[in-house]
Amino acid sequence: MSINSSKHSLIFTLFLLFQLTSPITKALAGTPHLINFRSQNLYPESLAWDAKNQHFLTGSLNHRTISSISDAGIVETLISDTSLPENVTVLGITVDSLHNRVLAVIHAVHPLPPYNALAAYDLNTGNRLFLSLLPSDDQPALANDVAVDFKGNAYVTNSIGNFIWKINLQGEPSIFSKSARFTENPVDRDSPCNFCGLNGIAYVNNGYLLVAQSNTGKIFKVDAEDGTVRQILLNNVENLTCPDGVVLRSDGVVLVVSPEANKLWMLKSNNGWSEGVVYDKIDLGDEGYPTSVVARERDRMYVLYGYVKEGVLGSLGRESFRIEEVRSPKESEDENVWIYVMVGFGLAYFFYWRFQMGQLVKNMDKKIN
């Protein structure tokens, strides 16, 4: 092969590769996973991922149930606790895989009589392990979301009282963190979430909690030992609008979802959450009121569209809900870059090999002649 034709074939090959890899990278990623599921009047507010049994779990606006949702959208009622007061809501739920339990926040929406509790159920049998009434000194309270640490302590946010309860492994409740930090920011009275303070909560491995406050758009770092609170400085954003569900991905990225703004924010920190940056901001589907987000294997992100607002406003009758996988365009770009880099290395290696073979053939020719 002459030098000229080899150069042409190189350019041609590169051209072909760039033409080919774009659809290939798209095909490798596939389309995001969409799970439609049907359950009359379920209106689930929160989502959890049960890694052991490989299905999602959701609560319900007033069925007093926890349901499992398979990847194929098969719904099964895992727990039905009719000993709870009629029509109460199963709000935040979380899987405590170390203790094989699911923890569920139970709240009675106005005008039902006040009721705030945390229930724990065995994941295998569905048996209730405890039902712990949450004390609020007769003040109005809204038990909302729950996170669990490695010892099995649960942390529940109070959206009206703006404090955090702690419930230990045995189910004994206490008021854990009632910091002035939680009430020092002005509340936007015109905001659709103005009634709702502390909301989504996530436990971070190094012994602290991250908590979102809906009506100020703030995120707090709470020490899981002593309950001391710091507001996290978010460097590059306007305030988050009505943040709701919060979850930690295994790579340390924190996901925050807002049903009012229809957004998923991806937050990162390189100093243990003294400060953070919004690293990506993703627009979600504008129908379905996405209140909850989870991360499952290989950091895949799934959002629940449970139409809770519709249910709370009283237009019951809905049967179909959905869970949707969400992809970060930024992270897909990064993946594409890596694929190009790998293809580049492959090509370089191939041409080097061809060059050596050429030399070898030449040397052999020399020897033979």
Ligand X SMILES: *[C@@H]1O[C@H](CO)[C@@H](O)[C@H](O)[C@H]1NC(C)=O
What whole-number distance in Å separates Cα of residue 35 and Cα of residue 288?
A: 13
Closer of 94 and 216 to ligand X (Cβ): 216
Q: Which of 21, 185, 191, 194 binds ligand X (CB under 6 A)?
A: 185
Q: Pull the structure tokens for residue 54.
A: 């490989």
Work out how close the CB of 56 gets to ligand X at its nearest, in angstroms, rounded to a whole number.
26
Residue 96, beta-bridge partner list: 101
Work out how close the CB of 123 gets to ligand X at its nearest, in angstroms, rounded to a whole number.
28
Residues in contact with ligand X, shown as a per-residue x/- string from 318 to 347 under the rule CB under 6 A: ------------------------------
Residues in contact with ligand X, shown as a per-residue x/- string from 106 to 125 under the rule CB under 6 A: ------x-------------
Q: Which of 190, 238, 251, 297 binds ligand X (CB under 6 A)?
A: 238
Q: Which of 239, 270, 315, 356 binds ligand X (CB under 6 A)?
A: 239
Dihedral of alpha carbons 24, 27, 29, 32, sign: positive
Query: Phi/psi of residue 100, each to 5°?
Result: 50, 45
Residues 63-92 binding ligand X (CB under 6 A) are: 86-87
Q: Are 284 and 39 in contact (CB under 8 A)?
A: no
- In Å, how far are 19, 77, 232, 293, 353 from 24, measured between CA atoms? 9, 40, 40, 29, 25
Give yes or no for residue 190 binding ligand X (CB under 6 A): no
Q: Pull the structure tokens for residue 110.
A: 């106005």
Give yes or no for residue 258 binding ligand X (CB under 6 A): no
Report how many residues bind ligand X under the rule CB under 6 A. 8
What whole-number distance in Å separates Cα of residue 339 and Cα of residue 323?
A: 29
Q: Are 94 and 49 in contact (CB under 8 A)?
A: no
Work out how close the CB of 112 gets to ligand X at its nearest, in angstroms, rounded to a whole number.
6
Positions in the binding site for ligand X (CB under 6 A):
86-87, 112, 185-186, 216, 238-239
